Amino acid sequence: MGILEKGLEALFPSNIYCVSCGSIIDHTRDYALCDACMEKFHWLGRKTCEKCGKLLQEDHRHSLCYDCMRHDHQFDKGYTCVQYSLYERGVLMDYKYKGRSYIGRKLGDILCDRMALTNETFDLIVPVPLHRKKLVRRGYNQAEIMARQLASRWGVPCGSNVLERTRETRPMKGLGAFERYENLRDSFAVSRKNQYQLRGKRLLLVDDIYTTGSTMDACCVPLRQAGSARICCLTFACGANVPPKEQ
């Protein structure tokens, strides 16, 4: 735990208040969420996209989501925990923009339990990096805290400096699929500081949110070039399965 995180832990003890609504809870609760918030979260059910892991509607007649039916992805398989909506958004906003970095460890616990439901094994966990300037502004990379927690609980190394952002990109909100692709193209590289041999390795990319998968795809390009054998991605929340016309 870094000094900043220790200070925040003292200010906002992570297992006394629910991380979503602030209600007082006890230490035995999973993920520092109260019962009411546990119920409000849109936990992913059994029917998920075979490729990206997004939640599919019960009456959706395909094994892939609308997005994966139209676009191929660079990663092998995606996993996610909840569908992004009001409550999930609140937790992520507090986590990313209010300095509550301790929430990342709770989200890391959720990621760990999600992966326990699969038969996957990995050699290295790789958080999606932030651009240096953004990292300085925010003080921490939200994906890295989650990835470190997952890695320590799972006993898999966490390669925090495997990837780096080579340039700043525009915010992705409101951009279409092609614009997202263009915005992110060549924006990730395997860092020169990276100490891991990636050839033949199975990697798990970790981020907070999955929408169209364009960030994950962009991360996969340099990792494939470095010889990674299998790349899966894991996020806390994913967007809804929306038919093309409504997007």
The residues binding Zn ion (CB under 5 A) are 18, 20-21, 23, 34, 37, 49, 51-52, 54, 65, 68
Please name the residues in contact with 133: beta carbons below 8 A apart, sequence gap of 6 or more.
Answer: 168
SS3 of the chain: helix, strand, coil, percent, to 5: 35, 15, 45
Residue with tokens 């990995």: 122
> Which residues, 6+ apart, have CB-to-CB distance to 173 below 8 Å?
none
Nearer to Zn ion (CB atom), residue 49 or residue 205: 49
Q: Which is nearer to Zn ion, 68 or 146 (CB)?
A: 68
Task: Using the minimum distance from each CB to Zn ion, give the nearer residue, 80 or 160.
Answer: 80
Q: Which of residues 54 and 96 has its CB atom nearest to Zn ion in the complex?
A: 54
Q: Is 202 helix (H, G, I), strand (E, B) or coil?
A: strand
Nearer to Zn ion, 8 or 25 (CB): 25
Residue 19 Cβ vs Zn ion, minimum distance, rounded to whole Å: 8
To Zn ion, the closest distance from the beta carbon of 68 in angstroms equals 3
CB of 146 to Zn ion, least distance (A): 20
Task: Enumerate residues 6+ apart whose C-beta is below 8 A from 186.
Answer: 166, 167, 221
DSSP track, 67-89: HHHH---SSSEEEEEEE-SHHHH
First to last CA, the chain: 41
